[in-house]
Amino acid sequence: MTKFKRILIKLSGEALAGSKGVGFDYNTVMSVVEQLKQLVEQGTEIAVVIGGGNFWRGRSSEQMDRTKADQIGMLATVMNALYTAEICRSQGLNAVVQTPFQIGTMTEVFTKEKAIHYITNNTVVFFAGGTGHPFFSTDTGAALRGCEIEVDALLFAKNIDGVYDSDPKLNPSAKKFDQLTCKEILDKDLKVIDGTAASLCMEQKLPILVFGLNIENSIIKAVSGENIGTLITN
């Protein structure tokens, strides 16, 4: 019996890259896909948002126009979703990619109704292209789509096993939080999710679980309600 019935999983682009840091790490993606398959077979309804940081992040220089840089970033998220959805299909798990804008026949344009139809029929939906607008992040895209399709929780799978009061790579005595509120994230300016996403989750009372993707079966454990990572509530 799982704790959450309908979830949206946000994977950072870098998490997909594994230890390489760029591009895809096949074993990491396979491990994610195997967990998604097991969860769908158990009746969990799953949407996925993948960042783009393994291909592109922000501007390459101060001279570069932010809107153009962000458009490249949004397209990087489409590559990640197309790749991971294809690995799902190769493993016998139905998957579709929806974007907020048209990209010919490569993806479908997002609608709430179609997305809910898919996830309630054993199909994983990848929301690529973020919000479709520059000056936003895939964290915000994940929070927005999570609210729209009425998920029970947002699951943020990261390269780090939860939320800390400072960077544990720089500060060996950094303290990990078991639980936090969105307001604390905003007040303490913790960099775990961006402020726009935290505000939306606070307003909509959407819980967020932040955990490490590299822990074995971490997605399954998170959906089952095991005490991994940091739970962010209102």
Q: Which residues contact 120 (CB under 8 A, 6 or more apart)?
A: 45
Question: Looking at beta carbons only, is 15 or 93 nearer to ligand UDP?
Answer: 15
Eight-class DSSP state of 79: H
Question: Looking at beta carbons only, is 44 or 77 nearer to ligand UDP?
Answer: 77
Kindly state the smallest distance separating residue 172's Cβ from ligand UDP, in Å.
25
- Per CB under 6 A, 73 contacts ligand UDP: yes
Does the annotation place 167 within a ligand binding site?
Answer: yes
Residue 94, strand partner residues: 123
Q: Which of residues 149-208 bind ligand UDP (CB under 6 A)?
A: none
**Could you say which of 4, 7, 13, 190 contacts ligand UDP (CB under 6 A)?**
13
- Per CB under 6 A, 114 contacts ligand UDP: no
Map residue 108 onto helix, strand or coil: strand
- Per CB under 6 A, 133 contacts ligand UDP: yes
Tokens for 229, please give them: 């990572």
Give the angle subtended at the CA of 12 by the CAs of 111 and 200, to the nearest 5°. 55
Distance CA 68, CA 99 (A): 18
CB 24 within 8 A of CB 17: yes
- Per CB under 6 A, 45 contacts ligand UDP: no
Map residue 87 onto helix, strand or coil: helix
Does the annotation place 11 within a ligand binding site?
Answer: yes
- Per CB under 6 A, 141 contacts ligand UDP: yes
Binding residues (CB under 6 A) for ligand UDP: these are 12-14, 51-53, 57-58, 69-70, 73-74, 76-77, 130-131, 133-134, 136-141
